[in-house]
Amino acid sequence: DINPIPALHSHIDKKDSPINSKRNVLDWVSFRITRCMEDMFEAHGRRVARHPYKAALICTLVSLLCSLGNINFVIELRPFKLWLPQDSEFIKVLDWQADNFPIDYRFHTAVWESDNVLTARAIQEMWRTHNLVQELVVSGSNITWSDVCAKIPTLIDYASVLSDDDTDMSFILPRKLYCNIASELPSACFESSLLEIWGLNNDVIMNLTDSKVINDINNIKVSAVFGYQRDFISMLGGTKKDSNGKIISANAAKHVWVTTLDHEAITNGDAEIDEGTGGLVDSAGLLFEASWVNTVLNNTGREPNILFYGQSASSFGKVSEENIYGDVKWLALGFSLMFAFVNMTLGRRNQVEQRPLLSLFGLLSCGFAIGISYGICSA
């Protein structure tokens, strides 16, 4: 009783619909492209098979010719040179800054983390690490913290004659007189931490109490090392306050060591490239930074409930370099697996009819491709 005619008409209408017509055209185009590529590569394969020596010679000569550009090959590690257009506004500003305001200082930062770092035990742990850096001597070069640290004038010997207001003497005194006075002041290595509150005094720090730490954090505003006003609260993180607005605890504290670049050593060529910034750093400074990292990250003797995170100015480049070269073993493993696969595919599964040389020559094309790409980009 079912009439099949309407269903048949419906099927015909769908088959001849515009959507199906477009799909048929696309299928035909895809088929023609695929067929043309298959024919082209088949013809190329036949030509190579008929003239194997000529094909190998041409490939080798073209690869060597393109690889000549590697004569100009240079290693570029600066991220802004690798990833940013060199005509961008950022690069122009960066170049102008480097020419007019070169960066002479390198910052090495540590962060202390605990349920509460404002305790006598936590401050004494900071003091222990401070002493480790003070006693640090780079193996083989006798470089110490005092050799590379950035030194700034200290006013601590004149604290009694300084006013308590915010008067800036650089606005009052003539420039020449002010600079002469500043150059004659005693200097100290620049290390920014909560330890400045207690003047880096061993007896005072080792006899601190928890209540004394809280009281000094809230009330002392002048560094007992440099004699400058300091906002010690800005060095804290995760602070908690009581109803009077006084800080009663903090989950983290920042500690910074500052070193300076030795421009004379850099000028004399005794320098290396910092992989993170791409800038030149004197070799002595980099040696100290590496030793600093090893020293401060050594957990021997550290309080178990206090976490420590340290990063030198060169840490980013070192970590990146380790990760990059750490992947080389996987690259070698990948080539080994590819060699085994190609050898098994071209050879037979016995101990005689293997094709190791043929497989190696096939993988040699990867080396040619790398040489060509590097050569063309370096030309």
What pLDDT, in 10s, does the model give residues 99-157?
A: 888 888 999 999 999 999 999 999 999 999 999 999 999 988 889 999 999 998 887 76
Mark whether 95 and 134 lie in a shared domain: no
Mark whether 288 and 334 lie in a shared domain: no
Q: Which of 13-22, 54-63, 82-91 has the lowest mean pLDDT?
A: 13-22
- pLDDT at res. 157: 64
Q: 3-class DSSP state for residue 326?
A: helix
Domain boundary among 289, 319, 349: 319
Mark whether 165 and 98 lie in a shared domain: no
**Domain-embedded: residue 181:** yes
Which tokens is 136 given? 């640090």
Q: What whole-number distance in Å separates Cα of residue 41 and Cα of residue 256?
A: 63
Mark whether 58 and 139 lie in a shared domain: no
How many angstroms separate the first and last alpha carbons of the chain?
81
Mark whether 118 and 56 lie in a shared domain: no
274 pLDDT higher than 70: yes
Mark whether 228 and 298 lie in a shared domain: yes
Contact criterion met (CB below 8 Å) for 314 and 286: yes
Mark whether 209 and 138 lie in a shared domain: yes
Average pLDDT, the chain: 85
- pLDDT at res. 280: 83
Percent over 90 (pLDDT), the chain: 41
**Domain-embedded: residue 261:** yes
Number of domains in the chain: 3
Contact criterion met (CB below 8 Å) for 272 and 296: no
Domain that holds residue 352: 51-102+327-379
**Domain-embedded: residue 260:** yes
With cut-offs at 50, 70 and 90, classify the pLDDT of residue 251.
very high
**Domain-embedded: residue 1:** no
**Domain-embedded: residue 5:** no
Mark whether 335 and 378 lie in a shared domain: yes
Mark whether 199 and 228 lie in a shared domain: yes
9 pLDDT higher than 70: no
Mark whether 153 and 249 lie in a shared domain: yes
**Domain-embedded: residue 130:** yes
Mark whether 284 and 154 lie in a shared domain: yes
Q: Which of 87-101, 205-219, 258-272, 313-327 has the highest mean pLDDT?
A: 205-219
The amino acid that residue 75 corresponds to is: I
Domain boundary among 291, 319, 347: 319
